[in-house]
A = this chain, B = another copy of it.
């Protein structure tokens, strides 16, 4: 337990990854309502939208309008996701988003082909182009990300060596632009991670890059989400992506690919008990989770919002 961080930073991804998954259309003003409610919880970063092709992700077709409705707030960064230069340009054009240059690789080529229609080689070339675009736009490149880092529904287990090799490629792409990656995110895109898998990947990365800050993007597809977060915390991970209410899919839908992200308020509950500061008011996050349930119109899998926060005893 000696490596537990004193404080973690949570990126709230419910409005982007959560809503993106929902099949029924969600009104723009309700998306804005949730984002602005989340901004009141104390969370320091909110991924509000993605700038992707509306044919691929119809739910994000109103990204600009959503960003337009965000009420800026001191201490809260609103960020967006994009996969190509066109998306980056749309994000820049809003004038309201915090822009981070991120180099993202994917550890499963089969998934990469299905998800982004690119081979490993295509993706490397495209990420090099994105790095040059960030440099040209004056956007720092401090963040890297390895997707499908713990396993793939199409390829099976992902070798740790491949993840380490992709981290090396990400670090190198940034260096080519004279930039230095500060934070490396590992995404359990298909919910394969277990506490053992988390340790295997993070220990290998930490051994080779002891100065790299580590970040986890976890799903709760097989019920391991919070246990995986504990494994990360014990290795000093101080950055987590999470979704209010466990948005991002419903374990009851029988959709094997898409059970929800690790739940923000459940993660905050865990951290409070461990004496780890999150900056988040758990009661406000629970209220936001209930709002999210109202907006999507079905129950969300988070536990603390129904089980109770125990705040009266803390």
Contacts and interface: CB of A to CB of B under 8 A. Distances in A.
Given A227-B227, A227-B270, A156 B306 contact: no
A303 B301 CA distance: 10
A87 interface: no
Interface in A203-231: 220-227, 229-231
A279 interface: no
Contacts of A310: 151, 192, 222
A95 interface: no
A307 B197 contact: no
Given A269-B223, A273-B194, A274-B196, A251 B157 contact: no
Interface string A266-289: 100110011000000000000000
A273 to B, nearest CB: 4
A75 interface: no
| Number of copies of this protein chain within its complex | 2
Given A157-B313, A256-B308, A308-B256, A303 B221 contact: yes
Contacts of A313: 151, 156-157
B223 A304 contact: yes
Given A195-B230, A230-B227, A303-B251, A308 B270 contact: no
A207 B93 CA distance: 62
A252 B299 contact: yes
Contacts of A299: 252
Interface of A: 151, 153, 156-157, 191-192, 194-197, 220-227, 229-231, 251-256, 259, 263, 266, 269-270, 273-274, 299, 301-304, 306-308, 310, 313
Q: 9 closest pairs, A vs B, by CB? A: A223-B303, A221-B307, A223-B266, A227-B227, A194-B273, A156-B313, A252-B299, A222-B307, A256-B308
